[in-house]
Amino acid sequence: MLSKRLIACLDVRDGAVVKGVRFEGLTGAGDPASLARRYNAEGIDELVILDVTATIERRRALADTVRAVAAELFIPLTVGGGIRAEEDAEAALDAGADKVALNSAALADPALVTRLASRYGSQAVVVAIDAKRNGDRFDVYARSGQAQTPREAVEWAVEAAERGAGEILLTSIDRDGTRSGFDCGLTSAVSSAVSIPVIASGGAGTFEHFHEVFTDGRADAALAASVFHFSEHAVAELKAFLSERGVPMRLPPKGGSHGDRK
């Protein structure tokens, strides 16, 4: 049975990991490569490097950071932030990323999704959607949550999948950084509408929040940052917690942490 995935997100700015509250107010949390190493040893299933300021400052994701993180990791690595054109995707993939996450660029030029999927395969193309509740609908925002678009999240996810996206990374702007739980309604609505995997993001605060999003939210994967950053054994403990509650997980082998064995 396919395991539900836990994905650690490294929000990176100028080569250092930061974590924002509702995309603002950034505080330092560590060196990307050493954090990545720790997560890998703990058994994290996947990593995402998000260059949080890339789109705003019109920069590409830092290839050096990607290279440093990819150097010793053998789990899937996604890079987002500043992927605006095929050259940006190529640079990220050549630096060692397995997937690129497109957000504002896909909104501005939806055909970019198809071009990248044709060239690298759908498995390499993640469409990131930042959504905010507005009554019964979910408005899509661009530019790190700063610019509202006319799009609706479920419809955009369906279109992105049709255009060749391999996965949807769905962030609730309302919940991001609040630690008040994932938006299970949003996640479930999108996950039910598309056949491709949906990664839930925004709002993780407790282990129970992950259980909710994997059950009520119908998420295929859950992404978090600070929950993993500030506690030593959070990944292993969270996996044990979820596994005990019937959520299929990739668990570390008995008698040692995952990264110890060669």
Partner 1 sequence: MIALIDYGAGNLTSVRKALAAVSAEVFTPSSAAELAPAAGVIVPGVGNFDATRAIDNEWRTAILRGVDRGVPLFGICLGMQYLFEGSDEAPGVPGLGLLRGHCELLPSTVKVPHVGWNALTITRPSTLLDSAEPAVASAFRRKDEPQVYFTHSYAAPVTADCVATSEHGARFAAAVERGNVFGVQFHPEKSSDAGLRILRAFVTRCSRND
Residues with a catalytic annotation lie at 11, 130
Answer whether 181's CB lies under 8 Å from 203's CB: yes
What minimum distance in Å lies between the beta carbon of 220 and partner 1? 7
In the list 98, 176, 183, 212, the residue contacting partner 1 (rule: CB under 8 A) is 98
In the list 17, 68, 83, 95, the residue contacting partner 1 (rule: CB under 8 A) is 95
Closer residue to partner 1, CB minimum distance, 28 or 253: 253
State yes or no: residue 256 binds partner 1 (CB under 8 A): no
Binding mask 125-164 for partner 1 (x = CB under 8 A): ----------------------------------------
What minimum distance in Å lies between the beta carbon of 253 and partner 1? 7
In the list 130, 167, 176, 212, the residue contacting partner 1 (rule: CB under 8 A) is 167
In the list 27, 58, 136, 262, the residue contacting partner 1 (rule: CB under 8 A) is 262
Closer residue to partner 1, CB minimum distance, 93 or 153: 93
- Distance CA(204)–CA(222), nearest Å, equals 9
State yes or no: residue 40 binds partner 1 (CB under 8 A): yes
State yes or no: residue 55 binds partner 1 (CB under 8 A): no
Judged by the rule CB under 8 A, the positions of this chain that interact with partner 1 are 1-5, 40, 45, 70-72, 74-76, 93-96, 98, 120-124, 166-167, 195-197, 220-221, 250, 253-254, 258-259, 261-262
